[in-house]
A = this chain, B = another copy of it.
Amino acid sequence: MRVPLRLLPASGHFPLLLLSFQLIPTSAFSLHALPSRLSRERGTHLRTATETAPVVPVMGSTEEGKLAYSYIEEHDVAKQSILDKYEGFVFDMDGVLWEGATLIPKARETVEYLMHAGKKVFFVTNNSSATRKQYIAKLKKLGYPELKPEVIYCAAAAVAKYMEHIGYKGKVFVLGGEGLREELSAVDGLEILPKDYWEASKQFPTPLEMANEEIDFDAKCVVMGFDQYFNYWKLGYATRLLTGNPDCLFIISNKDKLFPCGGGKRLPGTGAFIEALEMATSRRGHIVAKPGPFIIDDICESFSIPRESLCMIGDNLHTDIDFAISNGIGACMVETGVSQRDQIGRDRNPVPHFVLPTVAVLLAPSFESRL
The chain A residues found within 8 Å of chain B, CB to CB, are 100-101, 129, 201, 204-208, 210-211, 228-232, 235-236, 239-240, 243-244, 257-259, 261-263, 265-269, 271-273, 275-277, 279-282
Contacts and interface: CB of A to CB of B under 8 A. Distances in A.
A240 B280 CA distance: 25
Given A273-B276, A276-B275, A101 B208 contact: yes
Contacts of A273: 276
A243 B338 CA distance: 14
Contacts of A261: 207-208, 210-211
A277 B266 CA distance: 12
Contacts of A208: 100-101, 261
A196 B230 CA distance: 20
Given A267-B240, A272-B277, A276-B276, A206 B232 contact: no
Stoichiometry (number of copies): 2
A206 B231 contact: no
A279 B267 contact: no
Contact of A281 (B204, B230, B266, B277): B266
Contacts of A235: 268, 272
A265 B230 contact: no
Nearest to A260: B207
Given A232-B268, A240-B265, A204 B206 contact: no
Contact of A230 (B232, B271, B279): B232
Given A201-B204, A208-B100, A228-B205, A268 B276 contact: yes
A101 B211 CA distance: 10
A204 B232 contact: no
Contacts of A207: 228, 259, 261, 267-269
